[in-house]
Amino acid sequence: MNSIWLHPELSDEIMKDEEIFNRTPSIILDIVAQKLDITKLVENMGKVLTNSEATNRLKGMRFFTKILKEMPKNYLTEIQVNFISKFYIDRLKDHHSIIPAVLDGYSAIIEMVNYKMENCGEFLVALFREVSCQSQVRQDRYNIYLIIKTLMEKNLDYMKNLGPDFVYGVISAIEGERDPRNLMFLFNFLPHFISNIPLGHLNDEMFDVVSCYYPIDFYPSSDDPAAVTRQDLAKALAPCLCATPSFGEQCLILLIEKLDSSLRLAKIDSLHLLRETCATFKPESYAPFLKTLWASIHRELTNKSDDELRMAAHEALSSLVKNISVTVNTDQAFENFVKGIIISMQTAIAEATTLAQFTQATRVLLTTANASKESCIIVTNSMIPATIAYYSFNNTPKLQHAAIEFLGDMYDIAKYWKATQELASQLDEIPQLCLTAVSQTSKEFQIAGLKTLIRVLPVLKSDLIVPFVEVLIHNVKHAQDNDLLSVSVEAVHAIAMKYPEEIMSLVLKGKCDLEHLTEDKVGLDKRLNLLCNLASIDEFTKIIVEEMLTIITKNKDDADKVVKALSASISNTSLYSQEKVTQIESDYGLVDSVIIWLLKEIADTTAPESLAHGYSLVATTISNLPEAKQIAILDKHTQNILERCKEDEVYFLMLESLYNSLHQSVHNSSFHEVMMLALNLSLRSEQEIIRSTACILIAHFLNKAEYGAKFEVLYETLKTYLSSCNKENIDSMCVRLISLYGWITKALILRGSDMFLFWLQKIMVALLNPECCSEGAKAIKLILSYSPDCLTDKQHCRISLLYRQRMFQTFAQLTEKLSNMDKRVKEAYLLSWAYILEKAPKSVLNSEAFKIAPLVIESLEHDHQDLLLVMVDILCHIIQSNQVVIAGSLQTILPRLVKLSTYVKSMDVRIKSLQCLYEIANVYSTTLLLPHKQDMLLDLAPSLDDKKRLVRNMAVRARTRWYLIGAPGEAKEN
């Protein structure tokens, strides 16, 4: 084959025919296959490369550049690359139209493996001399920047030695760049350049070139698909301005000037820039400007309405303090600066009349203290005495509370900086003040004091324990308020952790004397609550639990109160860890004692409520035990209780408390018998509570049993039993069966098993039958509702995450083809939907709005309170997410909602429907709403005089919002 590039005619071909450009890959192949030498190729191109017509030379250069770009990067030898580089450098002097091709080609040459850095000096000199960068088009400017960047990446040391001429060249090349994309590239590259290349006497020039963009004032054109935003540019520019410490003075002068500008964006950018500078600039750079800086930052910190600005000011202050705090030992400036802050903030605090003003000032101090250990020490040292004094001077309760809280905040920061040792003398004052607050009679003071006390507990000295305990125990015994009670208990707990012995003697042997615990009946509940709480601390466990168990086993009268308190405390996992419960159980036999007590009480027919506490105590304890222990307890008690169950079904409740919190792997021989008993009771017991407990136990079994033999056996038992029941066909059983189906479905869908579908279909049959449709709806509700007592992960049940979504999908499929329903059935059907939608994740509601909206709109016509409440709520949600479905049916929806706004039976329905009307006015476009405006204003008037205030409030919101529709001054875009 005789290709044209093997002959000098190539030149003519390039000039004549663009087609040849598409054949470069074949040329490359020939070169690589050594059929053609590159020198020969250049010779063949000679005529076009040296043509007297600039357009022809351009074609030649483009062709050559294309070949170089496609050539393998490692093919050319060093001599060849040098030669070509020389040629290209020479071409820079050529006609301006050829420059783009030259630049393009040279960036390909740089990439070559054998490119020697020595060539680039010459290239750059020629480039800066011959080519005026800013008169090139955007892409070529970009290529120039790219070449510089690539060269720097290739060999930084060589570039450093190029000297001021190179820097000057770069400065003049970028000066005046205006394209946002190129600027983005430059801003990203320049910090690297500035921080690595010595700028020498061109430092100021460099800064000027960059700083002229500051602050960025740029708005992308609206039709730009991938616009560079102002934010991007501003964010990229800041690092350029503070890339080297030598910019310090100029940069700070600039940013101080802009901080004082009236433009909000300039201020925010300056504050962000100040934050950035703190990472590179030396503390000395700031010294002359500290006063001015603080004045400007202070002004923004006290800004009343602009949160973003205030946040930026806080960040800037924090970085500044952190930066200059390293000079604490060498220079007075830092200390003076922080003291200046403290003085201005003390003035602000002294003048504060509202909580907002007070917290604004203290927040500045906290930011300062948070910035470094040094500043923390200065701030805390002067602010703790000041705040304590402030507390006694001021007599506005709200501010005093805030002052106490502020002390706690300062302590936390001191702890974070590990400065508690240095600050000990100041910090020690805090508990004393807490005591003053706690000794007040007002509940708010006590709570504020106790909360701070709990935070600063490590510095509580032992001499304050007695007075604190005095107040706390008084609270525990007599407080009526739940908040105060719980915080008091928490405080005693905290003190007990630090001073167990003192609390032991003061509380257990003094105020709440264990041995005579039950003699005083007043406030026994509350004392028991405290003791159970304390029992979770190791030092107290033995003495308290033993005493309580004695009461349970011996003292008949107060045992139920003890059981109740224990049950409440043990179920609190933050107090009692699993290990702790296991330890208590194995050391003191908690379950055994409670079971003995329960057996005795059941025989005495005690009130069911106190028995319930016993059951839940047993269940919680068992749920915390490891598997082996669970099995041991079951083995010990099952037979006995099963026997008793045969005589009286009440004992079944106890059986359930033993079995419902087992681990998934626990299994023993009695399971079958227990299951049969549960099935039997779930359908045949006459007591509601026993039936539902039995259902729960069945659900737990089905949910936990491992797939395989165990599950099969269980499932078979269930099915056989139910089919035997069907033969009996008793009417009263129908309701109970549906409820059992509900539980079974719930257990199966929770574990993610597909078998739930079978049972759900059974429920569907019930739902569509006018006789028992409401029972069907109830079963659906049961499946979706959550209860802390059954099928939770604490009871070791399997819970698949998306079961509510799955229920939604399945129910939608099952009901797709339904039509022509009886009125009663229709209502139950909608009600079931309501239960499902209520619990379905909001994202589903949004994506399925088209399916849901017709159901919701139809429900608005049914006079059923529960149904309406849920559906109007969902309608509200759909409206808020601005769904078009609703927009289309406003004509139907508005009158229905107006009718519901006077719904007599429930104020919640009235409130919700008014809220819907408000949301509609808020969300949809004026053109849609305006036709309805006058009617709505009239229709909403009666609700303004509703007899319930809460309804009126919502009516006011809705009506005043509708007044604004299409009126001047409405802040809506469409």
Partner 1 sequence: MAKVADNINPLIYEKRSEREVTSTDRDEDVADDFDEREIFDMIRNINDPEHPLTLEDLRVVEEGNIIINNKENSVHVRFTPTIPHCSMATLIGLSIRVQLLRALPSRFKVTVTVSEGSHASEHAVNKQLADKERVAAALENNNLVQIINQCISTALAG
Residues of the shown chain interacting with partner 1 in the complex, contacts defined by CB under 8 A: 304-305, 353-357, 398, 906-907, 941, 944-945, 947-950, 952-953, 956-957, 959-961, 963-964, 967-971
Smallest distance, partner 1 to C-beta of residue 871, A = 20
Nearest distance in Å: CB 904, partner 1: 9
**Burial class of residue 296, CB neighbours in 10 A (0-12, 13-18, 19+):** buried
Tell me the two tokens of residue 128. Answer: 């800066």
Name the maximum alpha-carbon separation found in the chain: 120
Class of residue 664 by CB neighbours under 10 A (exposed 0-12, middle 13-18, buried 19+): middle
Helix axes 651-659, 688-704, angle to 10 degrees: 20
Report the distance separating Cα 194 and Cα 171, nearest Å.
11
- Report how far residue 505's alpha carbon sits from residue 55's, in angstroms, rounded to the nearest whole number: 103
Minimum CB separation of residue 950 from partner 1 in Å reads 6
454's enclosing H/E stretch is helix 443-455
Q: Which residue has the tokens 């006058």?
A: 934
Supply φ then ψ for residue 414, to 5 degrees. Answer: -60, -40
Q: Which is nearer to partner 1, 721 or 963 (CB)?
A: 963
- Output 670 or 906, the one with its CB closest to partner 1: 906
Question: How many angstroms separate the CA atoms of 349 and 333, rounded?
Answer: 24
Task: Rank residues 528 and 954 by Cβ distance to partner 1 and give the closer one.
Answer: 954
Residue 201 or 947 having the CB closest to partner 1: 947
The whole-angstrom separation of Cα 583 and Cα 481 is: 33
The amino acid present at 839, given as its one-letter code, is K
Least distance to partner 1, CB of residue 906, Å: 7
Nearer to partner 1, 609 or 945 (CB): 945
* CB-neighbour burial class of residue 462 (10 A; exposed 0-12, middle 13-18, buried 19+): exposed
Phi, psi of 145, rounded to the nearest 5 degrees: -60, -40
- CB 331 to partner 1: min, Å: 36
Q: Compute the least distance from the CB of residue 360 to partner 1, in Å.
A: 11
Nearer to partner 1, 357 or 486 (CB): 357
> Given the complex with partner 1, which of 352 and 365 has the nearer CB atom?
352
> Of 219, 321, 301, 204, which is closest to residue 254 (Cα–Cα)?
204
Question: What's the half-sphere exposure (Cβ side, CA atoms, 13 Å) at 869?
Answer: 7
**Choice between 676 and 944, CB closer to partner 1:** 944
Smallest gap, in angstroms, from Cβ of residue 910 to partner 1?
10
Q: Which amino acid is at 253?
A: I
CB of 356 to partner 1, least distance (A): 8
Q: Please, which residue, 415 or 972, has the CB nearer to partner 1? A: 972
- DSSP structure class, residue 305: S
**Residue 903 CB, nearest approach to partner 1 (Å):** 11
Distance CA 415, CA 421 (A): 9
* CB nearer partner 1, residue 709 or residue 904: 904
Q: Please, which residue, 610 or 906, has the CB nearer to partner 1?
A: 906
| Preceding amide of 215 cis, omega within 30 | yes
* Closest CB 953 distance from partner 1, rounded Å: 7
Q: What are phi and psi of 71, to 5 degrees?
A: -65, 145
Task: Compute how many other C-beta atoms are within 10 angstroms of the C-beta atom of residue 363.
Answer: 16
Residue 389 or 944: which CB sits closer to partner 1? Answer: 944
Comparison of 821 and 907: residue with beta carbon closer to partner 1: 907
Rounded least distance, CB 961 to partner 1, Å: 6
CB of 969 to partner 1, least distance (A): 3
Q: Name the residue type at position 636.
A: K
- Helix 443-455 vs helix 397-416: angle between axes, to the nearest 10 degrees? 10
Work out how close the CB of 759 gets to partner 1 at its nearest, in angstroms, rounded to a whole number. 38
Q: Which two structure tokens, joined as six digits, stand for 768?
A: 């569509």
Q: How far is CA 553 from CA 106, 599, 607, in A?
A: 95, 11, 18
Closer of 303 and 382 to partner 1 (Cβ) = 303
Q: How far is the CB of 402 from partner 1 (least distance, A)?
A: 12
837-841 contact pairs (CB < 8 A, 24+): 837/808, 837/870, 837/871, 837/874, 838/784, 838/870, 838/873, 838/874, 839/784, 839/785, 839/804, 840/804, 840/805, 840/807, 840/808, 841/804, 841/805
3-state secondary structure of 42: helix
Of residues 580 and 952, the one with the C-beta less far from partner 1: 952
Sign of the Cα pseudo-torsion (893, 896, 900, 901, in order): positive
CB of 932 to partner 1, least distance (A): 17
